[in-house]
Structure 1
C-alpha cells in the first residue's frame, strides 16, 4: 500500500512539472472609439504541456485574448519564455500556444505531455485542480468532486450563445487557475479549469476533455474550431392545451415547439418552419422541455447533439407538422448562425467604424452596446430588441450613430443620441460598407441627409463636409476615416 501511494505521488509530481504559469500583456479594442486600442494591462493564468514533440501548451482563450505579449514559466523555474498563440477559440474558451525556446523544454527535469481523457467522469468522482491562482507565486493543488454535468455558453453572453458540455466541480477555481488541468485519480486531465460562480469559493466549471479534443482536431486540420448551431428557438410544450392544439398524442411528453427559425440557418435550408414540433434528432427523442437522455438518469439540452458536430456534418431531424410525422435531412453550414447583432469579440464581432462629417457610425454589436451602456438592461428598447433578430441576407447589419465629433459642419448635433441609421440621401442603409460606398460614390446633391430611428434627422452641408473632412480626422487623432475591413477592395475613386 505504501509503495502504491508513493508511486502515485511521484506520478502527480511529474504531472505538476508540466503545468506552467502564463504571463500576458494585452490590449483590448476600444469599441466606442474603434480607431484606438485600450491601455495595456497585465494578467496571469495557467496552462499545461499538451504535446511536447510540437512544443505546445494548452490554456484558456480568455487568458491570452487580445495578447500583445505572452510568456510562460515552468514549475520550479524562474525564467519566463516567449510563447506564440497558434490558435484560439472563444466559443470553447481554449487556446494553443507554441513555446519555441529549447531551454524551456530541455532544462531538467524533462517535461512530459499530460494525457487527456475524453471520458466524462461520473458524479462524485474525485478530481484535482492544478494551477497558479492569485495570492501566491507557487503552484496550487485543490481537491474536490464532480458535482454536476450540464451545458453552458462559454462566452457568458447576456444575449445567449451556443452551449457546450461543462463539468461543475467543488474544487476551488480562482483567478489565475484558468487554463490549468483538472486531473482524475490516475493523473489524466479530464478537463481544463476556466471559471467559477462569482462570490463562491468552491463552485467551479471545467471544460471537459471531449470539448478539448474537438478543439484540437480543428487545430490539426488548420481550421479555427467553431460551434455549430441548428438555428432554431424552442418553446416547451408543457401546456396540455398547446399539445392538444398541435395534435400531439395525449399523455406523451415528447416534442418541443419550434418558435423561430433563422433564415440563413441549416434548419431553414432543410425546410424546418416555425410551428413545427421537434420530436427527435438522429432518433434521439426530445422531451417537452427540449432535453434529451444523457446517461443513467441524467438529462441534458438538445443542443449537445448539435454543438459537438462540425461544419458539413448531416443528421436527421424528426418533426411533427399538420398532424403527421415528417423527417428531413439537415446539413450543418458555417457557424455561428449569422445573427443580425454580433455577440462576441473574436467570434463574430469586429471593431468597425466610418467617420462622415464628424459623425461616427458603427455596426451594432453586443460589445459596442456593453461598452456604451455597461449593461444590457440599460440599452434603449429598440436596440435591445434587435439582439435576438436574425440576418435576412449575409451582408445585413444594423448601422448606428456611435458619437459625434464636434465640429462646425455638425453644429447642432453634438449631443445627438445613439440610434439606428435608416436611410442616407433617401436610400436604405443595409450595412456600414454600403454606407461608405454610397458616400464615396458622391452626388450633385447639396446636402447629406441621414434619417435615424424615431424620425430624427441629420442634415450636413455636403461641400463643407468634404472640405473639413481631413481637418476633423486630424483634430481628433484619427489616422483613417474608416476601419480596414471597410477599405478592402477599394473602388477606383474616393471622396473620403
Structure 2
C-alpha cells in the first residue's frame, strides 16, 4: 500500500530521555537497590506516557524485555542492541507496556486503570526531514533570506555556537509542556495553559543577507529571528503574513496621501517680497504634510542588534534582488512533506 501511494509511515518517537545507571553514586542518590537494573528517566512526554513514566523513574522493562544499566538488551542470543530498537520497530499507535521502579515499588502500565501507552510520532521544532523530496522553504524579506531551522541546517559550518546551542535547547522541549517563561508569566492565571513551545511551530533563522543599498551595515547572518515589529514569530509562514500586511499598509498610506487642492492667493502689487516668501513657505509646508508617514519593519535577532527596513524601500530592493539573482518567487513555504505520515 505504501509503495503504491509513494508514502512512508514514520516510526514512533522515543517519548522520554534517559541516563545510564552504571555509576554507583548515581544509583545511591536515587535509592536504586543492587538487584534493580535499568535506565534512569530524566524527562518524559507526559501527553504520550500519561504517568506511566515520570522523572526519576528507573525503567526496567519494555514489553517484558529486561534492560541493562547501560540501556542495552540481548537480541538473538548474545547480541547486544540499544533498547530504542524495541520502540522504533513498532507501528504508530501500537501499545507499549513500561515496567518501572518508583519509590521502592515495581509498577507496570498493564492494568485496566493504567492501560498501555500508545506510541506516536512526536513533532520536533527542528524538523529531521526538512529537505527530503522537496526544495527547502525560504522567505526573502527585503534583502534578507530566512528559512526554518532543521537538524541538517544546524550541522552547517556557518551556524555559530550560540545559534546551535539555542536550537538544541528548544529541541529538548516537549511540545505539550509548559515552558519556564509560561510559568513565570501566567503564575497568577491557572486557567491559561500554554504549550512547551509557547505558540511556536518552528524556529526561523536568518541565513543570508544580499548585498544592496538597503542592507548596508547589516552584515551578520545566521541568527535566530525572534520577533517582527514586536510580535513573536510562530513560523516562517507567520512572518510572511506579517510582512505582507506591512506591504499592504505601506501601499495604503501612499495612496491615501493624495495631493491637496492648492490654495489660490491673490497677490497685490503692493505685496512685499517678505509676504511672497511667507506664502512659498506655507506651500512647502503643505507639500511636506501631504507626504505619507513611512512605515518600518523591525526584525529582532537573538544575540544581535535589530534590523530595520523602511517598507517601501525594502519592497523595491526585494524586486531588484530577485531580478538580479533570477529568483522566481519571494517565498516558498510547503510545510511538512505529505508523503511522510
Q: Cα distance, 1:226 vs. partner?
A: 2.1
Structure ranking higher in helix proportion: 2
2:303 match: secondary structure: helix
Distance 2:9 2:214 in 1: 47
Q: Cα distance, 1:308 vs. partner?
A: 1.0
Q: Does 1:449 align with 2:298?
A: yes
**Partner residue, 2:201:** 396
Report the number of matched residues.
259
Measured at CA, do residues 315 and 410 of structure 1 come closer, stay the same or move farther in structure 2, by a change above 3 Å?
Answer: same
**Partner residue, 1:111:** none
Q: Cα distance, 1:484 vs. partner?
A: 4.2
Measured at CA, do residues 223 and 246 of structure 1 come closer, stay the same or move farther in structure 2, by a change above 3 Å?
Answer: same
Q: Cα distance, 1:358 vs. partner?
A: 1.1
Structure ranking higher in strand proportion: 1
Q: Does 1:364 align with 2:169?
A: no
Distance 2:325 2:76 in 1: 59
| Residue in structure 2 matching 1:412, options 206, 217, 220 | 217
- 1:99-157 CA distances to partner (integer Å, 9 max, x unpaired)? xxxxxxxxxxxxxxxxxxxxxxxxxxxxxxxxxxxxxxxxxxxxxxxxxxxxxxxxxxx
**Partner residue, 1:383:** 163
Compute the TM-score of the two structures, normalised by the length of structure 2. Answer: 0.68
**Partner residue, 1:485:** 334
Q: Does 1:332 align with 2:119?
A: yes
Q: Would the aligned equivalents of 1:262 and 1:390 in 2 still touch at CA under 8 Å?
A: no
Measured at CA, do residues 416 and 261 of structure 1 come closer, stay the same or move farther in structure 2, by a change above 3 Å?
Answer: same
**Partner residue, 1:258:** 41
Structure 1 gap segments, 5+ residues each: 1-216, 487-496
Q: Would the aligned equivalents of 1:261 and 1:274 in 2 still touch at CA under 8 Å?
A: yes
- 1:267-324 CA distances to partner (integer Å, 9 max, x unpaired)? 4x55533322211111111111111221323322111111111111111111223333
* Aligned-pair Cα RMSD in Å: 2.8
Q: Which structure exhibits the higher relative contact order, with contacts defined as CA atoms closer than 8 Å and separated by 6 or more residues?
A: 2
Distance 1:350 1:316 in 2: 40
Measured at CA, do residues 478 and 220 of structure 1 come closer, stay the same or move farther in structure 2, by a change above 3 Å?
Answer: closer
Distance 2:37 2:2 in 1: 34
Q: Cα distance, 1:218 vs. partner?
A: 4.8
| Residue in structure 2 matching 1:304, options 80, 85, 91 | 85
Measured at CA, do residues 451 and 484 of structure 1 come closer, stay the same or move farther in structure 2, by a change above 3 Å?
Answer: closer
